[in-house]
Structure 1
Amino acid sequence: MSAQPQRKNNPDATRASLLDCAAQIIVEDGMAALTLDNVARRARVSKGGLLHHYPGKEALVSGLFEQVVAWFDGRIDALIDPDKTVPARFSRAYLGVIASIDMTVPEEKRLAVLMLMLSSDPHFCARWNQWVEARLHQHRLTDRSAAARTLRLAADGLWLSDLGGGPDSSPSARRHILQFLESLVTAQAVAGGLANKGNP
């Protein structure tokens, strides 16, 4: 009697599927709907199988948070200007990532997941702030200006507007906002350059 072929396990794929299903539940129904039973059902795994990878809801949510932040971080790295002297270098990329998000694309909805997580749990807010502070320290020579702060705050506003489908989320409004913000940064860079030339 020949042995039955065994299906190869792929733990990485299973974990990714569980996190994707958790993200879908948050986007569609909010954080309150995120339960281990709901995630296991959507991912088509047993609850025991889920617990094998994430031993509780806290571990699952923490894994999802880390995944979304890593995704956002990667988008920043892909967009950031290679010139390390560009004013507001990180803040421009931060704004660019958020401004380019298409909430009709499932993968892009990770930004909505992150926003919902931050708005519902001070613990995740603190972890997000640590990520931002680490990035700002990395780019402390270019991103401590008022213009850089303005870009980041504007990006957060666009993020919230997108999440709620606000009137400023239209493509035309977005273009005008981005053009205006870019002009602010350019003007400050020019003014700073002139001020530096005037110093002995």
Structure 2
Amino acid sequence: MMNAHRRSKQPEQVRQQLLAVTGALAAEAGLAGLTLDAVAAAAGVSKGGLLHHFPNKAALIDGLFARLLSEFEAAVEAAMACDVEPVGRYSRAYVAVCFDLDQDAAGAGWRVLTIALLAEPALKGRWQAFVTKKAERHAETDGSAGCLAARFAADGLWLADMLGSHRLEPPERQALKARLMALTTA
């Protein structure tokens, strides 16, 4: 009996590859131009293999959103771990991560999903739940008007970065970041 060569199954690796390809293709073509066939081909899996992990395009987009949200949360937690001052710690970390989003690899994925986030009720609900949970968790240390204003301003910068609507030179960007950070200490 012959042993046929078989590729070892690594479902989590395949899933992550599908999400990475989805983010890259969506950044190029937008969500409207994203097709399951294109994702499967670019990831080197069959369409059936893709459908095993994500039964439809909405599930694929939801998976990408969940991945990016998890990465965002991890980045905020990592920034918080480096800050010894508890008052405003969450808000400073949130501001720092938002300022860096357009500069890192996740920025392309967020650019595409920001538009979907505004239009898609399920994604919008997940983002709202995330923000609410974090605000409640950090209400004692980050409930001041200054902390809230800093996070709102960071959201505005994030949206401007994603849409490409405003261009700040690095010195202006750093000055704005410093001003927002200062708001979190009161």
Question: Does TM, normalized by the shorter one, top 0.5?
Answer: yes
Q: Which moved more, 1:83-92 or 1:149-158?
A: 83-92
* Cα displacement (A) at 1:182: 2.6
* 8 A contact 2:88–2:147 mirrored in 1: yes
Distance 2:10 2:39 in 1: 18
* Cα displacement (A) at 1:111: 2.9
| Higher Rg of the two aligned structures | 1
Distance 2:23 2:50 in 1: 15
Q: 1:48 to 1:159 in 2, by over 3 A?
A: same
SS in 2 for 1:80: helix
Structure with greater contact order relative to length (CA < 8 Å, sep ≥ 6)? 2
* 8 A contact 2:150–2:183 mirrored in 1: no
Residue 126 of structure 2 corresponds to 127
Residue 5 of structure 1 corresponds to 5
Write out the 4+ residue segments of structure 1 that deviate beyond 4 Å after TM superposition: 81-85
Q: 1:181 to 1:107 in 2, by over 3 A?
A: closer
Q: Which moved more, 1:75-84 or 1:47-56?
A: 75-84
Q: Does 1:163 align with 2:162?
A: yes
Q: Using structure 1 for the length normalisation, give the TM-score.
A: 0.83
Deviations 1:124-160 (A, max 9, x none): 1111010111111111101221111111111111111
Identity score, percent? 38
* Cα displacement (A) at 1:115: 1.6
* Cα displacement (A) at 1:107: 4.0
* 8 A contact 1:40–1:47 mirrored in 2: yes
Q: Using structure 2 for the length normalisation, give the TM-score.
A: 0.88
Distance 2:118 2:48 in 1: 30
CA RMSD of aligned residues (A): 2.1
